[in-house]
Amino acid sequence: MAEVKKIATRESYGATLVELGRLDDKIVVMDADLAGSTKSGMFGKEFPDRFFNCGIAEQNMIGVAAGFATMGLKPFVSTFAMFAVCRPYEQIRNSIGYPHLNVKICASHGGVSVGADGASHQCCEDFALMRTIPGMLVMCPSDDVEARQMVKAAYEYNGPVYIRFARSATPVYHDENYKFEVGKGEIVSDGGDVAIIANGIVLPEVVKAAEILKAEGISARVINMGTIKPIDKDLVIDSAKVCGKIITVEEHTVIGGLGEAVCSVLAENYPAPVKRLGINDVYGYSGEANELMAAFGLCADGISAAAREFVNGK
């Protein structure tokens, strides 16, 4: 693979917020003392009057965002995924989800690629928790190009949205012609032996895994499922029809996230064997991002090995 540009999707978020902020003075941004890390601080620097650091008080931050939304403002709320979702889950459920308020929860530092901070900061439960909230869009971009479009799509949707961005810089594999659409998956490359459905920064590794498999004579359809809820039902069913077997790959617990969303679609519509790759009901630990991704099998070698076994019926 040629050297490609690497950008952390949290950077894409910060830059897009600034861009949107110039167009719409109803946008307000909040953070809980992590504005430098989540990149919401980029907005704060340009629009200090519309930026509210809430201090280390995430539950209140969610409620304040709800209050802003009732006034017709368009709040974007950021902190690490652990503290944006897990800690104030009930506040999101009751103060944002239930009244269906126009609040965008844009978390950075999802998954184990958070790295050295260890398990306390590696949120692998955010997709599962946010999927349970009626009316909530749940999305996770796979690179900079998709992340920027996703932020704009979230802005255009009138209702609650959750997006997870990543801490680490990862390859930008989409070109500028890519068009993200809420609720639509993207066939990155097509194949007929197995479909690999993934999202987030693991996508470039899935693409590499598909190349490894191709060299061995296994043809994989690679799908980038940027929207976890609502999931692209048609594409999941079509992939089961075309490929027979499905593998899901996510930097998230295998419980309740992308993998189980895919399983639900198939169980109710077109039963097919599924192998879920992700964090297997365990906690992460400290290490470098790439070391951890490899340790949890979320790398080209791990994914291709799992696919090889699955396709060969082991």
Partner 1 sequence: MTNEDRKALALFAVTVREDIVKSTTAAGSGHPGGSLSAAEYLTYLYEKEMRVDPKNPRDPNRDRFVLSKGHAAPALYAVLAREGFFPVEDLIRLRKIDSHLQGHPNMNSTPGVDMSTGSLGQGISAAAGMAAGAKLLKNGANVYCLNGDGEIAEGEVWEAMMFAAHYRLDNLCVAVDVNGLQIDGKTSDVMNSEPLDKKFEAFGARVTKIDGHDFDEIERALNFFHANIGSGQPTVILLKTVKGKGVSFMENAVGWHGKTAKPAECEQALAELETARKKILEA
Active site residues: 58
Paired tokens of 230:
């609502």
User: Does 85 help bind partner 1 (rule: CB under 8 A)?
Assistant: no
User: Does 68 help bind partner 1 (rule: CB under 8 A)?
Assistant: yes
Pairing of strands 220-224, 194-198: parallel
262 and 248 Cβ atoms separated by less than 8 Å:
yes
User: Does 136 help bind partner 1 (rule: CB under 8 A)?
Assistant: no
Q: Please identify, among the stretches 38-46, 64-72, 124-132, 268-276, the one whose residues bind partner 1 according to the rule CB under 8 A.
A: 64-72
Question: What is the rounded distance in angstroms from the CA atom of residue 223 to the CA atom of residue 46?
Answer: 37
Residue 26 CB, nearest approach to partner 1 (Å): 9
Please report, as residue ranges, which positions from 9 to 38 form the binding site for partner 1 (by CB under 8 A).
Answer: 28
User: Does 90 help bind partner 1 (rule: CB under 8 A)?
Assistant: yes
User: Does 98 help bind partner 1 (rule: CB under 8 A)?
Assistant: yes
229 and 261 Cβ atoms separated by less than 8 Å:
yes
User: Does 94 help bind partner 1 (rule: CB under 8 A)?
Assistant: yes
Q: Which has the closest alpha carbon to 261: 306, 308, 226, 299?
A: 226
Q: Please identify, among the stretches 68-76, 216-224, 283-291, 299-307, the one whose residues bind partner 1 according to the rule CB under 8 A.
A: 68-76
Residue 70, exposed/middle/buried by CB under 10 A (0-12, 13-18, 19+)?
A: exposed
User: Does 67 help bind partner 1 (rule: CB under 8 A)?
Assistant: yes
- Which is closer to partner 1, CB of 111 or CB of 160? 160
Query: Which one of residues 16, 17, 40, 52 is an interface residue with partner 1 (CB under 8 A)?
Result: 52
Paired tokens of 97:
């989800």
User: Does 50 help bind partner 1 (rule: CB under 8 A)?
Assistant: yes
Q: Please identify, among the stretches 92-100, 149-157, 266-274, 298-306, the one whose residues bind partner 1 according to the rule CB under 8 A.
A: 92-100
Query: Which one of residues 64, 84, 206, 222 is an interface residue with partner 1 (CB under 8 A)?
Result: 64
124 and 111 Cβ atoms separated by less than 8 Å:
yes
Residue with tokens 């003392």: 33
User: Does 135 help bind partner 1 (rule: CB under 8 A)?
Assistant: no
239 and 223 Cβ atoms separated by less than 8 Å:
yes
Q: Which has the closest alpha carbon to 29: 80, 82, 65?
A: 65
- Which is closer to partner 1, CB of 53 or CB of 290? 53
CA pseudo-torsion sign 157, 163, 169, 174: negative
- Which is closer to partner 1, CB of 63 or CB of 284? 63
Could you give the maximum distance between any two Cα atoms of the chain, in Å?
59
User: Does 63 help bind partner 1 (rule: CB under 8 A)?
Assistant: yes
Question: What is the rounded distance in angstroms from the CA atom of residue 285 to the CA atom of residue 25?
Answer: 41
Which stretches of the chain bind partner 1, using CB under 8 A?
28, 49-50, 52, 54-55, 57, 59-73, 75, 90-91, 94-95, 98-100
